[in-house]
Amino acid sequence: MSDTSETAASTAVSANKARIMRFLVRDAGVLMALVLITLFFSFTAPYFATPENALKIFVQIAINTVLAAGMTFVILTGGIDLSVGSVLALCTVVGATIMTNETMTPAVSITLALLGCMATGAVCGALNGLISTRWKIPSFIVTLGMLNMAAGAARVVSDNSTITGLPQGFVDFGNLIIGGFLPSIFLIAVLVIAVGWFVLRFTVFGRMIFATGTNDEAVRLSGHNPDIYKVAAFTISGLTAGIAAMVYLLRLNIGSPIAGVGYELNAIAAVIIGGTSLNGGKGSIIGTLVGACILQVLSTGLQLLGVGDNFKPIVIGLVIVLAVILDAYRERLLRIMR
């Protein structure tokens, strides 16, 4: 009886050690990288370790964090969404057009603009998912087509011009600093991350998102339709693009048909750097937040060090490639630890 108890205890200890090692390999490593990068720039880049610069980073990180939150759902299912930048641009001009309608009160126009942005983004995302799953077309191709369609629609809606004159109350909220160091738009991004974390961590839907990316045939055999979860993931990605559009409007106070150029690549980079596997089924939305922080800290630190705009993309690109390489080795380590 004693031997059995000792064996069970030893097994439990081994399982706990394995869980700790998986956490260190998959999650803590990304956070440690952020800490090391931050320390490096704090000692080498002038004015990096100042409250003003921290505030600037919080402001600049918000849009990409919201976009990357939705992108995490898509990549977890094994897909990719290249359209979020153009969808964001379309949503900004939709939202700005609604808010500059003089027949409505500011409160009504802001509410309708938020709903309009979210609905526009969700429809674009749902179309991506439905077309990809119905005709078994790689999401890369489908979302590339949506990228062009949304970009064209943004130019049509805005008549290829920038929309200004947003309600003053809306502008004031975008400039609000809470507690003297937290921008309101960053808190919106944190809220989106928190909701995404709860859904992925504590709901059946979240577990099925992971399962779909791991083995969609197993999902099908368990009585669920994996296509439903893939469509839902793309819809969420479009929805967060709509929310990111509102954050963009809060930050810059304009609706622009070229607002989201290159944003999709930054969102994908944040997800991959944050530890989510491109193969799907493995990852963390908290890691996505850390990945977005790493990207922005790198960009700001390099700028303060005097690295030119021509060289910054090279450094950041190398970091992204390194993250993908490390992802391959991380998966090997995790398999060994099982």
> Tens digits of per-residue pLDDT, 64-100?
999 999 999 999 999 999 999 999 999 999 999 999 9
List the chain domain ranges: 28-337
| CATH architecture of the domain covering 28-337 | Orthogonal Bundle (1.10)
Q: Are 288 and 100 in contact (CB under 8 A)?
A: no
Enumerate residues 6+ apart whose C-beta is below 8 A from 138.
132
Three-state DSSP class for residue 38: helix
Give, for 200, the enclosing helix (H) or strand (E).
helix 184-202
Report pTM.
0.92
Q: Which pair of structure tokens corresponds to residue 248?
A: 């963009």
Instruction: Say what the pLDDT of residue 8 is.
Output: 53
Mean of all residue pLDDT scores within the chain:
90
The pLDDT-based confidence of 201 (bands split at 50, 70, 90) is very high
Enumerate residues 6+ apart whose C-beta is below 8 A from 129.
230, 231, 232, 233, 234, 235
Say how far residue 335 (Cα) sits from the centre of its chain: 27
Distance between CA atoms of residues 317 and 269, nearest Å: 9
Which amino acid is present at 29? Answer: G
Distance between CA atoms of residues 288 and 30, nearest Å: 10
Range with lowest mean pLDDT among 6-15, 279-288, 307-316: 6-15
CA-CA-CA-CA dihedral for 275, 281, 284, 285, to nearest 10:
110
